[in-house]
Amino acid sequence: MKVTLVGSGYVGLVTGACFAEKGHDIVCVDNDSQKIATLKSGQIPIYEPGLEEMVHRNVAAGRLRFTSSTEEGVEHGQIIFITVPTPPQEDGSVDLSFMEGVARTIAGDMKNYTIIVDKSTVPVKTGEKVAETIRRYNGNKADFDVVSNPEFLREGSAIEDLMNPDRIVVGVMSQRPVPLLRELYAPFGCPQFIVTDINSSELIKHASNSFLALKISYANALAVICETSGANITDVVNGMGFDKRIGRHFLNAGIGYGGSCFPKDIAAFIKIAEQLGYDFQLLKEVQHINRDALEHFLKKLRTELWVLKDKTIGVLGLAFKPNTDDVRNAPAIELIHRIQAEGAHVRAYDPQAMEKAGVILKDVTLCKDAYEAAHGCDALLLATEWDEFRKLDLSRLKSEMIHPLILDGRNLFDPIQMTSLGFTYRSVGQAIHHPK
């Protein structure tokens, strides 16, 4: 099928590549001609395992093209996906100006029946507004349907999430576009193709992300109870997770959720609810617990080091989670800003995010590996649970440090092993082990 994606950011690019991989004929559009030039030259501006190879393969096979001309894109696609950013505004509400702008541009160029699919994360009722906008600017030149089809892509495993989806949600205002959308997704073999009204589909996205964030905050709140009662959070969530109604996913306690989605989507959902007349206190508490998780971690650091001023502190992991180079709203970055504000000197290392973190961080010594980051440190903070850190030579790491104190914000290491190696080891929601 001929498909166009307008907006060649993370979601647009991954979706376009996966559709092409399944044999569809794809055009990716972006009004940033520099980005299009980069993509045309074969460079991929984001790190996502497997994406570069997939893009190259499909470009070579003639199934994937890039253009900065929306007109060319609209001409190509029977189905046009809108995959533009929906950034947060100061008050938490969503900036829909890119969405509106694209709807207007598409409307002007549409000549034949077109299905316009909104894949960006948007407040409930946005699809209705998009349809109104297209009607207004198209002047009845072409018939169309607007559909909501939210993405549930996790950075770092977006290809896997798209190629083997748990469910495909399609929200419609009429049944007319459904057969073509079924055909589009047929090669993905997903057993759950859910058709709803357009407002429900839009809500499914915000409701899902908020629920996942709620699970994380629940685990972080439990971690505090575990620490004060001498229980172990990992055992507690493992025990809970075997109940199929609860599930084990997204119950890992730590220093809180970050990234470009959860913080923004939860704030947006609270705002959407407020505009609809509901005070979503439950989600406000989720945000509160998330902020507390970082505070609690900082408190542990102060308990150990007393004063942070002029201490050298190493930070392992800068990305908001492993397998990505994305540092947007990364707890690690907030952590660094906070300890710098108290006068600490920071050394840091991340397997993928050094370049992006380097743009944001000031006065941080960026190191070539974890051992260099640990060198001369009074404490080492683990902020992102990269696999690479699991394989570290811990004795060597210890020998680099002035004082072998590790605060593990992701419970990556085994407390008993760390203590027996001579580390002072503090983690999240686990009892303190003292050397025998």
Cite the active site residues.
261
Whole-number minimum distance, CB 314 to ligand UDX, in Å? 20
Query: For residue 144, what are its two tokens?
Result: 């169309």
x-marked contacts with ligand UDX along 7-26 as a string, rule CB under 6 A: --------------------
Interacting residue with ligand UDX among 250, 334, 366, 403 (CB under 6 A): 250
Of the pair 409, 415, the CB lying nearest ligand UDX is at 409
DSSP designation for 346:
E
Query: Of the candidates 80, 70, 71, which has an alpha carbon nearest to the alpha carbon of residue 2?
Result: 80
Q: Which of residues 319-348 bind ligand UDX (CB under 6 A)?
A: 320-321
Q: From CA 161, how far away is CA 165, in angstroms rounded?
A: 5
Whole-number minimum distance, CB 334 to ligand UDX, in Å? 11
Of the pair 30, 326, the CB lying nearest ligand UDX is at 326
| Cα 219 to chain centroid, rounded | 19
Q: Which of residues 253-272 bind ligand UDX (CB under 6 A)?
A: 254, 257-259, 261-262
Of the pair 251, 382, the CB lying nearest ligand UDX is at 251
Of the pair 103, 412, the CB lying nearest ligand UDX is at 412
Q: Is 115 in the site for ligand UDX (CB under 6 A)?
A: no
3-state secondary structure of 161: helix
x-marked contacts with ligand UDX along 304-323 as a string, rule CB under 6 A: ----------------xx--
Whole-number minimum distance, CB 424 to ligand UDX, in Å? 24
CA 182-183-186 angle, 5° bins: 80
Interacting residue with ligand UDX among 18, 29, 251, 267 (CB under 6 A): 251
- At a CB cut-off of 8 Å and minimum separation 6, what does 12 contact? 5, 6, 28, 30, 81, 83, 84, 119
Query: For residue 4, what are its two tokens?
Result: 């166009």
Q: Which of residues 181-220 bind ligand UDX (CB under 6 A)?
A: 209, 212, 216
Helix axes 51-60, 10-21, angle to 10 degrees: 50
Q: Are strands 144-148 and 168-172 parallel, antiparallel or unpaired?
A: antiparallel
Candidate segments 80-88, 141-149, 244-252, 278-286, binder of ligand UDX by CB under 6 A: 244-252
- At a CB cut-off of 8 Å and minimum separation 6, what does 427 contact? 407, 408, 409, 411, 413, 415
Of the pair 77, 254, the CB lying nearest ligand UDX is at 254
Whole-number minimum distance, CB 241 to ligand UDX, in Å? 10
CB 381 within 8 A of CB 316: yes
Whole-number minimum distance, CB 279 to ligand UDX, in Å? 24
Candidate segments 68-76, 251-259, 348-356, 367-375, binder of ligand UDX by CB under 6 A: 251-259
Whole-number minimum distance, CB 11 to ligand UDX, in Å? 8
Ramachandran angles phi, psi of 277, nearest 5°: 90, 15
Whole-number minimum distance, CB 260 to ligand UDX, in Å? 6
x-marked contacts with ligand UDX along 137-176 as a string, rule CB under 6 A: --------------xxxxx---------------------
DSSP class per residue in 187-236: GGT-S-EEEEEHHHHHHHHHHHHHHHHHHHHHHHHHHHHHHHHT--HHHH
Whole-number minimum distance, CB 50 to ligand UDX, in Å? 15
Of the pair 265, 378, the CB lying nearest ligand UDX is at 265
CB 59 within 8 A of CB 65: yes
Of the pair 209, 232, the CB lying nearest ligand UDX is at 209
CB 178 within 8 A of CB 195: yes
Of the pair 285, 393, the CB lying nearest ligand UDX is at 285
C-alpha to C-alpha distances, 335 to 125, 221, 253, 341, 384, nearest whole angstrom: 37, 19, 16, 10, 12
> Which residues lie near ligand UDX (CB under 6 A)?
151-155, 209, 212, 216, 250-252, 254, 257-259, 261-262, 320-321
